[in-house]
Amino acid sequence: MFHNLKTFVRSHSKAAILFCFLYFIMLSSTPKNVLCSAKCPQYKVILFDSYGTLIDVNSLIGTIRKVLNSTDPIQSQVLLDSWRTKQLDFTWLRSLMKSSAKDSYADFWTVTKDALKYSAEKFNISMTQSQQDELMNAWLRLQLFPDVKDSLAKLKTKYKLAVLSNGSPRMLREVFKSNGLDDLIDPTNEFSVDTVRLYKPHPYVYSLAERKLHVSKSRILFVSGNSWDAIGAKAYGFQSVWLNRIGEPYPDLGISTDFEISNLHQLADKFS
């Protein structure tokens, strides 16, 4: 090949230079993080995160407004944003603090309740126990994103579908049941971090799915609407998809996810 290239360059120097220039321009301009061509690995399982991926946490906003009897949409959104942020903060802190001497794990229901109490206190929002209970129970009835059911139905024709979530087993079971997902995702393929008493993005959490499914990581495609989760899965060794629903910038942590999409229809159209 190289001998032929040298001969070509000697006899067609100007044309060769132009060809090489255009060729390398083409390579450098090939888009990254696009859904792959026919050379995609032969996945057996598509593994989804739950909250922010299939389940719309922002569907809590109506319940928050009702419970607070608030006509101020900003107050309700600020409370929800803080609640979700501290919920994740507390999961990461508990995982980091865990040691052989002390198990700092608390399940996602407890963490979520603690995050609500923190956020209410931060914004001087007084709530009765009944109001707190109503807000907590709303996590069991969260709504799906509108692209979920159609997309999962298409993907199910070719792949086993599974879920790996920070949610406690009860939280997952209730919200999936209330949304009628049992026909699309077998309840036995809903995996909670409770089993390992750690939270994502700890590598051992991702290994849970591999062990439960009896499928090697190279045959699993992981999908998350949370960039930190998609990056954590990629760091573990999964092929990963960041479902960037709201057009956020990519956090540069030195690890790139394999694909980036803006909705689940794009995933289903490519892989079903």
| Active site amino acids | 49
The residue type of 44 is: K
The residue type of 271 is: F
Q: Which of helix, strand or coil describes residue 96?
A: helix
* Six-digit token string for 176: 């999936």
| Helices 73-97 and 61-68, axial angle in degrees (round to 10) | 110
The residue type of 183 is: D
Report the run of H or E that residue 220 belongs to, with start and end.
strand 220-224
CB 107 within 8 A of CB 199: no
Separation CA 185–CA 177 (nearest Å): 10
CA 193, 196, 198 angle in degrees (round to 5)? 65
Torsion of Cα atoms, 13 then 15 then 21 then 25, to 10°: -160
* Six-digit token string for 130: 């009944």
